[in-house]
Amino acid sequence: MALADAATTAAGERQAADNGIVWRPTEEYVQASRLHRFMERHGIAGYDELLRRSIEDLDWFWNAACDDLGIEWYRRYDRVVDTSRGIAWPRWWVGGQLNYVHNALDKHAASDRRNKLALVWEGEDGARRSYSYWELWAETNRVANALRALGVGKGDRVGIFMPMIPEVCIASLACGKLGAIYTPIFSGYAAPAIAARLNDCEAKVLITADGFYRRGSVVSMKETADAAVAEAPTIENVVVCRRIGREVPWTKGRDVWWDEAIADQPRTCETERTDPEDPFMLIYTSGTTGRPKGAVHVHGGFPIKATQDMAHCFDVQEQDVIFWFTDMGWMMGPWLFIGALTLGSTAFCYEGSPDYPRPDRVWDMVERHGISVLGISPTAIRAMIPLGTELVTRHDLSTLRVLGGTGEPWNPEPWSWYFRWVGGGRCPIINYSGGTEISGGITGCTTIQPLKVCAFSGPVPGMAADVFDEQGKPVRGAVGELVVTRPWPGMTRGFWRDQERYDQAYWSRWPDVWVHGDWATIDEDGFWFIQGRSDDTIKIAGKRLGPAEVESAAVGHPAVAEAAAIGVPHALKGEAVILFVVARPGHEPSDALREEIKDAVVAALGKTLRPEQVRFVGDLPKTRNAKIMRRVIRATHLGRSDLGDLSGLDNPAAIEEIARAH
């Protein structure tokens, strides 16, 4: 039996023997847990009681959470939350004054943490840099002073189009220090996508780099930035960081080298004292149309929610080194830096591909840098399974104590493989799902609760989540809409200059209910499962299901590496399932294999849900953070000319494969 198969079998045996539970917290995990200490401090006997109190008494919970996280205020708030304008538009920390950069940086640089590692970076080419809290503080101050010299002040918008290098973290902190608002832009975007974001927020400055490395090749950024700025008339200056050291086109009077701009700047800079409702970040999300949505996040929102999730779900503590494989343009980039630094831990970031120059690059970095909390997508794990377990086991991964996964639903095999071979069966996988507009998770796990394969323990503390049926009533044991019924600090303060679109997107279906757009189920033991986006719903003969159910059944076949399920119109059933499959190495597409995969789906889901077709492709369209773009697959398969917003697509050639698939 192959090692990967043995891992899956072992996990299956444990599941059968223990009512689906495959991991239980040891006493060591419980006693070390921040969340356990929080509960003891407040006389809370169990997690269910904590969750109930956290959503029934918002004032108590969020006040206690801020104290637990060590949040410092320039002026303490008079009231935790004011919902007089309705729960879609609450005001948090009324009368208070803070700046998130003070909590992420200033207070540590002035404490005994000043010489502790704050940020560690590795480039794809092997370059390495690290910063203590004091060094990061001093460099951030110099950049803030340089931006101020360029005319950037409170409320001004700054675009940050950079790779995952230390300067991307420093630039974001520098903007926050000034009270400016930054827009993180995915490093792989083309010029039109960048220009659309710069124009929507009317950015004053764009910060970029000369380029970065991706799979050994240089990716040019300055040329792309120039093309975007040509269509963005509000940009006055372009600040360019030397990452590669290559010659780039230059516009005299507009363009400024990063190192030259900060050369004579002092290492001190006063941090702007902001209202908790003052924006610090506009982060754009892609939709089904070509127009991105600018989620507005404020100093008293995203930073508190992100830090609370990192502390209470992932149990990140001061001694931890946390690495989340992401890009600054995705929510998990700001989440990583803000949460890790606010907790006084160490953030690790990496610039390049996870499998270059060798397929064990991630595991090598975990070993060399002593990473203790690792976050990676299910798709990345699926891609690693066919390479074998020796690439993992050759490395000492004993520093790992918590694993994380987000971005899309898990399938049982990659979850079990990650748990067994990366975590050694001892590290919990914190399944985590929410989004950009949430500032973190709606559902999650903790290090003090049991785990089931692919499951969430339930809502994150402070999140009044539920699953509703089509009538807007709670439902158990069936697929329903994931909703939130009470406000939380991290909720977006609408979309930038588009209140109506925000109301329509999240609050229009049921009164005072946030409808997130994900299908979810809650099983008989109270574990939660995300079934995919509700706009990806497949409805066959009146049965509604998420694509993840079909995909998990297909990936259970030993020949299937990845799968994407879509629903297409059908005269009798309403919709039928079309399954696009990436075969594992050594397995050739054939009619016989198609039938086997269909049979695997039937065995898991029943005859009614047998796929109409199975089509083989070499790749599936994905974003850089590995989300499968099912709406693009469906539109391509149906021959539609408008594929929607493709700015986040990482592998355009995959669309052509979908179109040719048979």
Residue 601's region, left for phi above 0, alpha for psi from -120 to 50, else beta, is alpha
Residue 204 near residue 175, CB atoms below 8 Å: no
Residue 325: predicted pLDDT: 94
For the purposes of burial, counting CB atoms within 10 Å of the CB of 314, is it exposed (0-12), middle (13-18) or buried (19 or more)? buried
pLDDT > 90 fraction of the chain, expressed in percent and rounded: 76
Half-sphere exposure of 346 (CA within 13 A, CB side): 20
pLDDT digits (tens, 9 = 90+) for 303-321: 999 999 999 999 999 999 9
DSSP one-letter string for 207-218: EEESEEEETTEE
Residue type, 113: R
Distance, CA of 313 to chain centre: 14
Residue 543: predicted pLDDT: 60
pLDDT for 243 beyond 60: yes
All structural domains of the chain, each given as residue ranges with its CATH number in brackets, are 537-660 (3.30.300.30)
* Mean pLDDT, rounded, for 76-86: 97
Higher pLDDT, 2 or 212: 212
Name the E strands within 325-474: 346-350, 373-375, 402-405, 429-431, 433-435, 440-444, 451-452, 458-459, 465-468
Running DSSP on this structure, what letter comes out for residue 495? B
pLDDT digits (tens, 9 = 90+) for 416-457: 999 999 999 999 999 999 999 999 999 999 999 999 999 999
Q: What is the pTM of this model?
A: 0.85
Beta bridge partners of 219: 212
Whole-number Å distance between alpha carbons of 631 and 640? 11
Whole-number Å distance between alpha carbons of 112 and 127? 29
Residue 545: predicted pLDDT: 67
* Mean pLDDT, rounded, for 226-252: 97
| 3-state SS, one letter per residue, for 611-641 | CCEEEECCCCCEECCCCECHHHHHHHHCCCC
Beta bridge partners of 214: 217
Residue 47 near residue 449, CB atoms below 8 Å: yes
